């Protein structure tokens, strides 16, 4: 997750399940319900700051001083599907923009109300009234706050604000999967895919939203779903990046989002995606090229991820990547590359994987490849 934090800052994260705010009959968003949920979420997270037992005094000082929280989301793809809007399309992006504007402005207004009740976060309070005024003026003139509605900026000048940061979007991989919705900001990887994790390898996962749609529309063809059932791998990398940049407008901290690129994506193409993210205002970004690792958590087929020889030769010819030649040589021997004890490290290809402190760790580059937790 691309999350900048001050020294000893702590992540206080929560996520709103956006799938719950879709009116499935009218194909619209219930904004009143969303606003009320965000208000409750901000107050809950602010209370968590005081209820947390801090083991390090430095953590306590920083957490109580900035009162940072990070309210995020899951189920964005579900919301778009229920509203019959295609993820990454112009209509879909308009809806995404309005949803996150609602979340951001509601969170800030509620934090201002909390400041009226309980006071501003201490780092925004100076030793004198004049110093406090200067701090508040500096706060509302940051790049993010300049885009906020004027009533919010004026209210902060007058009353302060309870939390230094209010919004961030974590991946919610485990919690989103547990609830049965799309995780974080991501579209569905696929509507039928295989997941590898602590419960085993190649566990088939079927998206419940497809079954729900087929039950509500028995005449629909399961092999020819409407265009708003778009998967992560069928979405253009540029569309992934654009959605992230739209959401970043309304997130004061940072967000976790993966730009999925197809197998064979070149270095120049990856570079252009990062430039698009930077120019679009994203604070960070991740581009993942399918098949670029020895193994990956999500796959479309129940099989190990290995590049075929034709693909490897193509990469060597285009990019002259010496490492690929090394991989080819290792595959022609009996060397086992992986994350198990005794394997050759898949990161540096030089060290051996050994159990160290509960984690399978490379003896050469110290990469922690597998944890026993």
pLDDT, tens digit, 9 for 90 and up, residues 309-354: 343 333 333 333 223 333 334 344 567 777 888 988 876 778 888 8
Q: CA–CA distance from 127 to each of 120, 135, 140 (Å)?
A: 14, 11, 19
Residue ranges of the domains in the chain?
A: 13-159
pLDDT one-digit tens code per residue, 19-63: 999 999 999 999 999 999 999 999 999 999 999 999 999 999 999
Top-ranked range on mean pLDDT: pick from 150-154, 287-291, 336-340: 150-154
Say what angle helices 129-140 and 150-159 make with each other, to 10 degrees: 160
Pairing mode, strands 353-356 and 359-362: antiparallel
Query: Tokens in use for 215?
Result: 């039950």
Q: What is the model's pLDDT at position 203?
A: 66
More confidently predicted of 232 and 99? 99
pLDDT at 149 over 80: yes
- The stretch 11-22 carries a mean pLDDT of 96
Determine what percent of the chain is predicted with pLDDT higher than 90: 65
Q: What is the model's pLDDT at position 159?
A: 97
Q: Give bridge partners of residue 362 from the DSSP assignment.
A: 353
- 3-class secondary structure for the chain? CCCCCCCCCCCCEEEEEHHHHEECCCCEECHHHHHHHHHHHHHHHHHHHHHCCCCCHHHHHHHHHHCCCEEEEECHHHHHHHCCCCCCCHHHHHHHHHHHHHHHHHHHHHHHHHHHHHCCCHHHCCCCHHHHHHHHHHHHCCCCHHHCCHHHHHHHHHHCCCCCCCECECCCHHHHHHHCCCCCCCCCCCCEEEEEECCEEEEEEECHHHHHHHHHCCCCCCCCCCCCCCCHHHCCHHHHHHHHHHHHCCCCCCECCEEEECCCCCHHHHHHHHHHHHHCCCCCCEEEECCCCCCCCEECCCCCCCCCHHHHHHHHHHHCCHHHHHHHHHHCCCCCECCCCCCECCCCCCCEEEEECCEEEECCCCCEEEECC
pLDDT one-digit tens code per residue, 200-212: 565 666 678 988 9
Q: Give bridge partners of residue 74 from the DSSP assignment.
A: 17
Q: What is the model's pLDDT at position 324?
A: 31
Q: What is the model's pLDDT at position 311?
A: 39
Query: Tokens in use for 66?
Result: 């900035």
Query: What is the distance between the alpha carbons of residues 118 and 136, in angstroms, rounded to a whole number?
Result: 17
More confidently predicted of 76 and 320? 76
- The stretch 264-275 carries a mean pLDDT of 95
pLDDT band at 293 (very low <50, low <70, confident <90, very high): confident
- The stretch 280-298 carries a mean pLDDT of 80
Length of the chain: 373
Q: What is the model's pLDDT at position 70?
A: 96
Write the burial class of residue 244 (CB in 10 Å: 0-12 exposed, 13-18 middle, 19+ buried): buried
pLDDT at 86 over 70: yes
Cβ 283 vs Cβ 250: under 8 Å: no
Query: What is the distance between the alpha carbons of residues 94 and 147, in angstroms, rounded to a whole number?
Result: 17
More confidently predicted of 195 and 30? 30
Return the minimum-mean-pLDDT range out of 3-12, 261-270, 352-361. 352-361
- The stretch 255-259 carries a mean pLDDT of 94
Q: Tell me the whole-structure pTM to 2 decimals.
A: 0.77
Mean pLDDT of the chain: 86
């Amino acid at each position: 997750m691309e999350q900048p934090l001050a020294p000893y800052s702590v992540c206080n994260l929560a996520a709103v399940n956006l799938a719950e705010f879709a009116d499935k009959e009218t194909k619209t968003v219930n904004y009143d319900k969303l606003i009320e949920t965000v208000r409750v979420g901000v107050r809950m997270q602010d209370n968590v700051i005081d209820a947390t037992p801090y083991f390090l005094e430095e953590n306590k000082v920083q957490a109580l001083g900035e009162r940072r929280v990070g309210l995020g989301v899951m189920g964005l793809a579900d919301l778009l599907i229920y509203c019959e809007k295609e993820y990454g399309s112009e209509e879909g992006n308009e809806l995404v923009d309005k949803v996150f504007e609602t979340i951001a402005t509601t969170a800030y207004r509620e934090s201002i109300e909390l400041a009226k009740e309980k006071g501003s976060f201490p780092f925004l309070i100076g030793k004198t009234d004049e110093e406090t005024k200067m701090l508040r003026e500096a706060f509302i003139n940051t790049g993010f706050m300049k885009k906020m509605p004027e009533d919010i900026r004026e209210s902060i000048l007058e009353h302060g604000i309870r939390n230094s940061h209010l919004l961030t979007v974590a991946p919610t991989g485990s919690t989103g999967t547990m609830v049965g919705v799309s995780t974080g900001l991501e579209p569905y990887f696929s509507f039928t895919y295989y997941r590898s994790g602590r419960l085993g390898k190649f566990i088939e996962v079927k998206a419940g939203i497809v079954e729900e749609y087929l039950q509500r529309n028995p005449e629909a063809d399961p092999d020819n779903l409407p265009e708003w059932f778009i998967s992560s791998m069928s979405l253009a990398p540029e569309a992934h990046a654009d959605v992230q940049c739209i959401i970043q407008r309304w997130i004061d901290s940072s967000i976790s989002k993966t730009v999925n690129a197809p197998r064979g994506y070149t270095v120049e193409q990856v570079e252009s995606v990062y430039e698009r993210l930077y120019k679009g205002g994203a604070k960070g970004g991740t581009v993942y090229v399918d098949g670029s690792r020895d193994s990956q958590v999500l796959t479309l087929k129940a099989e190990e991820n290995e590049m075929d020889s034709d693909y490897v030769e193509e990469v060597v010819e285009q990019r002259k990547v010496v490492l690929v030649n090394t991989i080819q040589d290792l595959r022609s021997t009996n060397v086992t590359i992986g994350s198990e004890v005794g394997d050759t490290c898949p990161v540096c290809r030089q060290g051996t994987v050994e159990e160290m402190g509960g984690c399978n760790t490379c003896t050469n580059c110290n990469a922690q490849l597998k944890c026993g937790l």
